[in-house]
Structure 1
Amino acid sequence: MLFNSIEFAVFLPLVFCVYWLVLKKNLMLQNMFLLGASYVFYGWWDWQFLILILLSTIVDFLIGIGLDKYKEKVKRKSLLLTSIVVNIGILFIFKYYGFFVNNFVEAFRFFGAELNVRSLNIVLPVGISFYTFQTLSYSIDVYRKKLEPTRNFISFAAFVSFFPQLVAGPIERASNLLPQFYKNRVFNYDQCVDGLRQILWGLFKKVVIADNCAEYVNLVFQNYELYNGSSLVIGAFFFSIQIYCDFSGYSDIAIGTSKLFGFTLMRNFSYPYFSRDIAEFWRRWHISLSTWFRDYVYIPLGGSKGGLYKKIRNTFIIFLVSGFWHGANWTFIVWGGLNALYFLPLLLSNRNRLNLGVAAEGKHFPSLKEGVSILTTFGLTTLAWVYFRSDSVLDANGYLVRIFSSSIFSKPESLGLRHALITPGLIVFMLIAEWWGREKEHPLTHLESKFNVVVRYTLYYGMILAMFLLSGEKQGFIYFQF
């Protein structure tokens, strides 16, 4: 079920009303209802996907109990290994099996040998990378004794399948989300209103901006040989905006929806395109995944401690694994490696934690130095996104070669009125709104304190009207494929 669908527009109010009006005084029934609603939400695509999420839930629930029961180091390690093998095994079969088989066959073909190895025609379950990492982190935290295991299966199952963030995150830690299923939740009007504002902002970014950008992006990336360099620059820029508005829009809707039910999710985006270096960008982009890899991969490997070799090795491991997490394609690995190259000079010069605050904090405009740093970081990020978006590394290379040709100085190909004026205007509006609200969780947070009711509701209804009149062709969320 898509957030930007009619089905969800009916589903959400219905679940909200039953949750608060019928079940408001019974925590167990609320959790059971959320679990059932989440399974309906996820099973809307294909009920067979529910088997996998139920399997992952049962395995890690039992392993958590076992880790608490057994004190022997060998048994506890065996249980943790079981969790890792089951979760990563499921992820490997459904997401990466075909990639490894195809590359194995191609490697032998390179040396003149033909292998008759059958590839499995497997449908990738929606959101499998997200809930797999979520359940896996629970087992690791229980093993590390950072979290008490739960014996409440309903609460644990609801935590794993919680529908607002199930399909594309944020990837929640059990230490943050699971305890919220144990506590009585009381309807909070202000929290719900803020949740609705965040949902509105997320839908606006997705439906009005991301989907508009997608039309031109799809055309250009699928036929890049037919376009000059300046047109490809616009295509790359539009994709940078598309993937941000698409993914951060989903996160805004997920976090806002959670607020409607009395839950607080971790922040997943913090205005990453206002970052002044790549290190800051990765502290602000897909925060739940970045911190997951930091805590469960990077730090156990030694982090930035140790000699020069270990620093370089760990940096490349974390970025390459992060790239591969996104999909079974060399384009994602190259994208990860390119970001590692961007990050490495900052790490080696101990400048990777230089920009921890908000750009131009307390000011209306950035300094010249900050402005140049922000534009440079955005430019580097946009170049890397070309690999992320392209179908193959060869296509990405060809795209970049055409960008950096003499045709970059040519007049862009005809964009049409929408992509030449309306879409850029909407992008400018979004960027101004986010710059103005960059010190808040989302740009609509502080409207009540800044503007009167007439101005606020004019803006709200204007955004809703834009979703009907200016929306692009309906697109799925990009991160659903991961």
Structure 2
Amino acid sequence: MLFNSLDFAMFLPIVFVLYWFVAAKDLKYQNLLLVVASYVFYGWWDWRFLTLIAFSSILDYGIGLRLLHEENELKRKAFLWLSICVNIGFLGFFKYYNFFVENFIDAFSLFGTKISANTLHIILPVGISFYTFQTLSYSIDVYRRKLEPTKDVISFLAFVSFFPQLVAGPIERATNLLPQFYKKRQFHYSQAVDGCKQILWGLFKKIVIADNCAQYANTIFNNSDNYSGSTLVMGALFFTFQIYGDFSGYSDIAIGISRLFGFNLKQNFAFPYFSRDMAEFWRRWHISLSTWFRDYLYIPLGGSRGGTWMKVRNTFIIFLVSGFWHGANWTFIVWGLLNALYFLPLLLTKSNRNNLDVVAENANVPSVKEFLQMVLTFSLSVFAWIFFRAENVTQAFLYIKSIFQPSLIALPTIRPTNVIVLVIFFILLEWFGRRNQYAIETFFINKPRIVKWGFYMFIISLLFIFRAEEQQEFIYFQF
């Protein structure tokens, strides 16, 4: 069930009405309704996936209770590793089994040895990477005694399966989201209005920006041998805005829907394409995943406490694992490696925390230095996205090689004026809203109602005018 589908347009109002008008008097009924709604939402793709999420939820709920009463450290570690092995085992089997089998065969063939091994026709459960990390964080935090394990199984099932952010994040921590299921929730008009505005902005990012850019990015990447160098650059730019509009759009919709039900999720994107270096970019891109790896992998490995070698090693581990998290393909690993190499000079010069504030915080335009820094950082991101989008590493290198030819200075053969204008309009709105949680949060907030509603209706009209002919799934569903 896609957020931008007719099915969801019918599903959401039904759940909303039941939640606030039927189950509102009893918190347990509200939470139970969310569990049922979330399982319907998730099972819409394939009901068989429900067994996995239910098993992971019950397992980690039970492990949390055992950790509560267990004082023996060896047994506590055993329970933690049971949670890690089972959850990562499911993730590894469904997402990486064929990858490892195929590469195992290829490795032996390099030495002239032919072996036979069967791959499986495995359907990747939607969102397994997201809810696996979410439930794992619960077990780890309970083990570390940073979180009191819950005895409320309904609340825990609702936390793991919460439908707005179930299949593509944000990856919520139990310390933030789980306690919200314990508290009585009341409908607040201002919170609902803010949620609707963020949903609208997320839909604009997805339908108007991402889906329209996708049409041209797909055409160019799928036929890269036929296009000039300048057109290939356009293809990389289209994909750059496609993936940002698609993924951050999903996060905005998820956060907005959550607010309709009285929940507050953490910000997942903070205008990353306005970053002045790659360290800032990674503080602003997919924040919930970056901080998850920081807290549960980077810091346990030693973080930045050791010498230079340890810092470099840990940085490369984080980026390579992050790349591999995205998919079973060497392209994602190369993408992670590239970002590690981008980050390395900042780490070695201890300048990775130079840009912690908002760019041009007290001005409408950036300084020349800031502008050049943003252009460089954006260009590095665009280059890395080529590997992320390519079908394989060979195609990525051929794509890059084809860019650097005499036709690079020619006009692109594909340059859709309407999409380019929409992207420029989008960049401007993001720029002037960069101090907010999402771009249009405070737009015209103190203006007359007719001005505010005029702006919202304009955005809504763009959703219908520029709706792509083919409905596009969210990119991160495949991860």
| TM-score normalised according to structure 1 size | 0.98
Deviation at 1:411, TM superposition (A): 2.0
Partner of 2:264: 264
* CA distance in 2 between partners of 1:400 and 1:448 (Å): 43
Say whether 1:453 aligns with 2:449. Answer: yes
Deviation at 1:442, TM superposition (A): 1.1
Partner of 2:183: 183
Is 2:99–2:329's contact at 8 Å kept on the other side of the alignment?
A: yes
Say whether 1:205 aligns with 2:202. Answer: no
Partner of 2:466: 470
* CA distance in 2 between partners of 1:333 and 1:197 (Å): 36
Matches within 5 A, 1:271-420: 271-413=271-413, 415=414, 419-420=415-416
* CA distance in 2 between partners of 1:130 and 1:354 (Å): 30
Partner SS state of residue 103, structure 1: helix
Matches within 5 A, 1:41-440: 41-413=41-413, 415=414, 419-440=415-436
Deviation at 1:448, TM superposition (A): 4.5
* CA distance in 1 between partners of 2:390 and 2:180 (Å): 40
Deviation at 1:146, TM superposition (A): 0.3
Partner SS state of residue 187, structure 1: coil
* CA distance in 2 between partners of 1:405 and 1:84 (Å): 49
37-46 vs 442-451, greater mean Cα deviation = 442-451
* CA distance in 1 between partners of 2:357 and 2:121 (Å): 47
Instruction: Call closer, same or farther: CA 1:72–1:304 in 2, change over 3 Å.
Output: same
Say whether 1:443 aligns with 2:439. Answer: yes
* CA distance in 2 between partners of 1:63 and 1:35 (Å): 20
Partner of 1:27: 27
* CA distance in 2 between partners of 1:474 and 1:456 (Å): 29
Letter in 2 for 1:143: Y
Deviation at 1:99, TM superposition (A): 0.3
Letter in 2 for 1:431: I
Deviation at 1:24, TM superposition (A): 1.1
* CA distance in 2 between partners of 1:228 and 1:211 (Å): 23
Partner SS state of residue 164, structure 2: coil
| TM-score normalised according to structure 2 size | 0.99
Deviation at 1:379, TM superposition (A): 0.2
Deviation at 1:104, TM superposition (A): 0.0
* CA distance in 2 between partners of 1:76 and 1:463 (Å): 53
Find runs of 4+ consecutive structure 1 residues off by over 4 angstroms: none
* CA distance in 2 between partners of 1:199 and 1:173 (Å): 22
* CA distance in 2 between partners of 1:458 and 1:429 (Å): 17
Say whether 1:480 aligns with 2:477. Answer: yes
Is 2:155–2:181's contact at 8 Å kept on the other side of the alignment?
A: yes
Deviation at 1:420, TM superposition (A): 2.1
Is 1:209–1:471's contact at 8 Å kept on the other side of the alignment?
A: no
* CA distance in 1 between partners of 2:308 and 2:21 (Å): 60
Q: How many percent identity over aligned positions?
A: 61
Letter in 1 for 2:54: L
Partner SS state of residue 440, structure 1: coil
Letter in 2 for 1:454: I
Letter in 1 for 2:108: F
Deviation at 1:462, TM superposition (A): 1.4
Is 2:445–2:452's contact at 8 Å kept on the other side of the alignment?
A: no
Letter in 2 for 1:470: F
Is 2:211–2:472's contact at 8 Å kept on the other side of the alignment?
A: yes
- 1:111-160 CA-partner distances (Å, limit 9, x unpaired): 11111111111000000000000000000000000000001100000000
* CA distance in 1 between partners of 2:335 and 2:170 (Å): 21
Letter in 2 for 1:421: T
Deviation at 1:444, TM superposition (A): 1.8
Is 1:126–1:481's contact at 8 Å kept on the other side of the alignment?
A: yes
* CA distance in 2 between partners of 1:49 and 1:236 (Å): 34
303-312 vs 331-340, greater mean Cα deviation = 303-312
Partner SS state of residue 317, structure 1: helix
Letter in 2 for 1:21: F
* CA distance in 2 between partners of 1:245 and 1:447 (Å): 19
Partner SS state of residue 438, structure 1: coil
Q: How many residues align?
A: 478
* CA distance in 2 between partners of 1:443 and 1:383 (Å): 26
Deviation at 1:451, TM superposition (A): 2.6
Is 2:268–2:286's contact at 8 Å kept on the other side of the alignment?
A: yes
Partner SS state of residue 164, structure 1: helix
Matches within 5 A, 1:4-43: 4-43=4-43
* CA distance in 2 between partners of 1:152 and 1:182 (Å): 9
* CA distance in 1 between partners of 2:416 and 2:38 (Å): 41
Partner SS state of residue 447, structure 1: coil
* CA distance in 2 between partners of 1:353 and 1:309 (Å): 19
- 1:420-439 CA-partner distances (Å, limit 9, x unpaired): 21101111111111110100
* CA distance in 2 between partners of 1:399 and 1:178 (Å): 45
Is 2:269–2:284's contact at 8 Å kept on the other side of the alignment?
A: yes
Letter in 2 for 1:468: F
Letter in 1 for 2:474: F
Is 1:319–1:340's contact at 8 Å kept on the other side of the alignment?
A: yes
